[in-house]
Structure 1
Amino acid sequence: MAGGWARDGAEQEQIESTLEDAVQRARSEMPKGESRRHCEECDAVIPEARRKAVPGVRLCIECQSERDRKKTSVSGYNRRGSKDSQLR
């Protein structure tokens, strides 16, 4: 159900495009190559199980968790369309 000048299905195409961009960004940020034995941030030993589970891992779990908390992903799209969401 498109409104105004948008054609039918435009909203779904926008949602799918945004999702695809997020997937591509996440894939590009995945570690590659040989895993490190020690964390590059704190020099803690990275357990062998983690090195096998995440090929190319560079950080220990604690440092990776902290980095993930600091990282924010902001979408430039306002899908709700309400005035309240536009003011945030």
Structure 2
Amino acid sequence: MDIIDDAQLRTEEMLQDTVGNIQAEVRGMGVVDGFCEDCDCLIPEKRLKAAPWARRCVACQAEYETEKRRGHK
């Protein structure tokens, strides 16, 4: 690995940290940011158009509701 590769890797790591911090701040404000609060994957645009308040992707929402019915969440 040369100095340019190292610099690029560090820049990517810093960017990921920054994005994570911003996502955490946005979630803390109760704002839906387009990312699933359970798996951190991007919520599909189609789901957000149908349910703009969605905080989870379909798979995580289904799991959340199942666990909630069982009394685990």
TM-score computed with the length of structure 1 as normaliser: 0.40
Decide which structure has greater helix share. Answer: 2
TM-score computed with the length of structure 2 as normaliser: 0.48
Rg (Cα) greater in structure: 1
